[in-house]
Structure 1
Amino acid sequence: MPTLTVTAPDGVAEVGAGADLADLLLPHVELDDGDIVVVTSKVVSKAEGRVVEGDREDWITAETVRLVARRGPTRIVRNRLGLTMAAAGVDASNVTRGAVVLLPEDPDASAARLRAVIAERTGRNVGVIVTDTAGRAWREGQTDIAIGAAGLLVLESFEGRVDAHGNELAVTAPAVADEIASVAELAQGKLGGRPFAVVRGRADLVLPAGDDGTGSKALIREDGADMFGYGAREAVVRALVAAPGDDAPFGAPVTAEEFLDLLTTCGVPARVDGATVRCGSEHEGRATILGFAHGWSAQRDPGGVDLRFHRTTP
């Protein structure tokens, strides 16, 4: 029977700036080829000197690329790493009062460095995952995810395979790096003082020595490639403001037929005219907002009677 084991050692010393993560881990474990070493982003950040003084809200703003949604004091943002998460990943726990921990500058590079040091000192070929905690859009609670990875497949593709009933699997791609991050956290615990874990039993995911793979960046969707670039309320506001650059999170332009249907649904009589969609200028306000959110920009006819919409460049 396939067996997966997770070991999270006790006794790891407190981590400070400049700490050698391999030195902290290796005395507590015996590694084999094909093991996957999991380490929390907090200890990586501490070792890399990413503990900073200052107001947490100010640091959240500094680490934010774009606000996705806000409910009361909680901000869900897209941060500089491309991750969409609460508070941009800025953490004020387990540090002295008045300080916060920022995410590593480049978690994939951090994972690659630790992998290389482990190989140098032990001769073992392992995969490495750097984890952080994130919420889920449609479920309560949080789980750990991979924000950095080196030396392993982060997505396991089943596309083109056939199940036991003869059905072809078209889009099944388990995010195995996230799954490993989550199972490791079960052994580490939030308050256990166990920042490392070793997962054994999925050596098939570990890449050959010298091949660090795509890293965790392969798990991040491009801005605008998902269906939830803004929160429900924020999407309305951004469409109304229609500021340059705010259209990207709405995604690629819809087809002319789809845009026509949207206008009709919203009470705007319109028609398709070749590559353009036309409607009366008396509906300019509503039609322009819909166009902005769906990738169509408006121009007035020279006579000022109609609006002509053209698809924007995706």
Structure 2
Amino acid sequence: MDMEIKIIGLEGIPLIKKGDDLSQLILKAMEKQGIQFFEGDILVIAETAIAKSEGNVINLKDIKPSPKALDMANTTGKDADLVEAILQESVEVVEVGPDFIITETKHGFVCANAGIDESNVDQGLAKPIPTDPDSSAHKIRKTLENETGKNIAVIISDTQGRAFREGAIGTAIGISGMLPVWDRAGELDLYGRKLKTTSIAVADELSSAASLVMGQADEGIPVVILRGVSYFQKLRSEFATIKSLIRPKKYDVFRK
């Protein structure tokens, strides 16, 4: 059995501007590298690329901080304009501390600073999480499948921290073409016992794998192909969304 997974970074994708067709930029980069899609390839795209192409960028100079933002800026040491942007992208503030604001975003993600990022954009700008990452992934997937005739999946990834752990990893915030969670309950372990509650966040695992090549600084590789993922066909879905990765608030024992 072939257990090899390849992680292929697409080089040569230019700095992305509002209105750029990401699907065509991806196909051109693949052509230059002599790469073609295989059946079951999984494409991981950095949310920065999505935000820029969709024009989903905040000019912090245009924001007027509210009294709440000014107060939280004093607590966190963050710029008040950025704090106001965080509040505008959130439905709930979960926790505030030195240099961090944990919120629930409009999408339902619980993360630091509503997922707003100031890296890899011009000075004074910031990138919120794309408005509808699932829809963005779906549009790109359908275009690429129609162009190439191959069944693939597309994941939109973001860099996020994790509770009780230092450092950040690649995390899936949007998906199309495959389920983001693999429920393995009922399967047998090595000793013949049935698994009862085992589910695997495969979309997050794949996003983290892609980030090994994608990087977090000036690598300039916003798109990665993962090839050889054996469970692609098992999890293939035309209707998958990222929602099954989000734990319902009623099961969140840390947030009351």
* TM-score where L is the length of structure 2: 0.85
The alignment partner of 1:151 has SS state of: strand
Q: Which amino acid aligns with 1:28?
A: A
Larger radius of gyration: 1
C-alpha change, 1:181 and 1:208, in structure 2 (3 Å) is: closer
Match of 1:78 among 71, 92, 104: 104
* Count of residue pairs brought into register by the alignment: 229
What is the distance in 1 between the residues matched to 2:103 and 2:58? 20
* Corresponding position of 2:67: none
The alignment partner of 1:135 has SS state of: strand
* Corresponding position of 1:38: 44
The alignment partner of 1:224 has SS state of: helix
Matched, 1:60 2:86: yes
Match of 1:150 among 157, 176, 187: 176
2:41–2:228 Cα contact (<8 Å) kept: yes
* Corresponding position of 2:75: none
2:182–2:235 Cα contact (<8 Å) kept: no
* Corresponding position of 2:114: 88
2:179–2:235 Cα contact (<8 Å) kept: no
C-alpha change, 1:207 and 1:115, in structure 2 (3 Å) is: farther
Matched, 1:17 2:31: no
Match of 2:232 among 164, 189, 205: 205
- Superposed CA offset, 1:154-211 (max 9, x none): 11111011212122211111101100000000011112110000001115325798x4
Q: Which amino acid aligns with 2:114?
A: A
Root-mean-square deviation (Å): 1.5
* Corresponding position of 1:302: none
- Superposed CA offset, 1:257-282 (max 9, x none): xxxxxxxxxxxxxxxxxxxxxxxxxx
C-alpha change, 1:100 and 1:216, in structure 2 (3 Å) is: same
C-alpha change, 1:151 and 1:80, in structure 2 (3 Å) is: same
Q: CA deviation at 1:123?
A: 1.4
- Superposed CA offset, 1:2-49 (max 9, x none): 110010121111101111111111122211110000000111011111
C-alpha change, 1:16 and 1:163, in structure 2 (3 Å) is: same
Matched, 1:182 2:213: no
* Corresponding position of 1:47: 53
Matched, 1:223 2:249: yes
Q: CA deviation at 1:85?
A: 0.5
What is the distance in 2 between the residues matched to 1:105 and 1:77? 16
What is the distance in 1 between the residues matched to 2:95 and 2:238? 34
Q: Which runs of 5+ in 2 are unaligned?
A: 31-35, 61-80
What is the distance in 1 between the residues matched to 2:198 and 2:179? 15
1:135–1:142 Cα contact (<8 Å) kept: yes
1:127–1:207 Cα contact (<8 Å) kept: no
Q: Which amino acid aligns with 1:121?
A: E
Match of 1:194 among 221, 232, 249: 221
The alignment partner of 2:173 has SS state of: strand
1:74–1:86 Cα contact (<8 Å) kept: yes
Moved more, 198-207 or 38-47: 198-207
* Corresponding position of 1:109: 135
What is the distance in 2 between the residues matched to 1:112 and 1:28? 20
Q: CA deviation at 1:124?
A: 1.5
